Amino acid sequence: MPLHRLTLTATLLASAFVNAFAADAITPTAKTELFNGKDTVGWAIYPEAGKDSWSIKDGILACTGKPSGFLRTEKSYKQYRFTVEWRFTKTGNTGVVVHMAPPDAIWPKSIECQGMHKNQGDFYFWNGATLTGGTELKDKKSGKIRGYRLGKQADAEKPAGEWNTFTTVCDGNTVTILVNGKEVNKATGTNLSEGFIGLQVEGGAFEVKRCTLEPL
Model confidence pLDDT, tens digit, residues 37-61:
999 999 999 999 889 999 999 999 9
Cis peptide, bond prior to residue 47, ω within 30 of zero: yes
Give the residue extent of every domain in the chain. 25-215
Query: Model pTM?
Result: 0.87
Cα 18 to chain center, whole Å? 18
Asked if pLDDT for residue 12 goes beyond 70, the answer is no
Give kind and range of the element (H or E) at residue 16.
helix 3-23
Give kind and range of the element (H or E) at residue 164.
strand 164-171
Can you tell me the mean pLDDT for 201-209? 96
For domain 25-215, which CATH number applies: 3.40.50.300, 3.40.50.2300, 3.40.50.12280, 2.60.120.560? 2.60.120.560
